[in-house]
Amino acid sequence: MVKIRQAVPSDSKRFLLFLHKLDSETSFMLFEPGERKTSEEEIKRNIEQMGENSIMLVAESDDKIVGFLSAYRGHVNRIRHSATIVIGILEGFRGKGIGKTLFEELDQWAINNGISRLGLTVMVNNENAINLYKKMGFKIEGTKEKSCLVNEVFVDEYYMGKLLI
């Protein structure tokens, strides 16, 4: 069984292990295997600083973190109604409804905190993620050309957004 909850500072070690595993499993995330230099302390500090402007949700199975979704609200008035999202789920746990549940929790948090716009970027070849995002109400708003260099090949990203009101 997978449990979805907000991250707490004591998750920092398990969350860092999760991130390293995610980095090694997929080329759709920002970091390449071994590239992440984030420390356990940095993650702990980030989690401690979460407030009404941000949220980090984790998906947990058998005392291991298997997925996450974080959202960060704009800090200046003109974009304070908007939040940017990052999501990742370990390979063996994809396609089991975890992403859908994470987004449902995010929507509730966003509405409760006066956020009316959610945004993210996704590599154009990440069809499973794009399908999930569309299912959750996101629309492709544009293309960021040659946004990433993956295995020495340029990859475009889509800007995707969702309006909550």
Please state, in angstroms and rounded to a whole number, the distance separating the CA atoms of residues 137 and 132.
9
Evaluate whether 161 touches 116 at the Cβ level (below 8 Å): no
Q: Tens digits of per-residue pLDDT, 40-69?
A: 999 999 999 988 799 999 999 999 999 999
Domain over 3-163 is classified CATH 3.40.630.30: yes
Evaluate whether 60 touches 101 at the Cβ level (below 8 Å): no
**Average confidence (pLDDT) over 139-145:** 98
Evaluate whether 27 touches 151 at the Cβ level (below 8 Å): yes
Torsion sign (Cα): 56, 61, 63, 64: negative
| pLDDT at residue number 28 | 94
**Encoded amino acid at 16, one letter:** L
Q: Tens digits of per-residue pLDDT, 67-103?
A: 999 999 999 999 999 999 999 999 999 999 999 999 9
Buried b (16+ CB within 10 A) or exposed e, 100-111: ebbbebbbebbe
Please state, in angstroms and rounded to a whole number, the distance separating the CA atoms of residues 165 and 162.
9
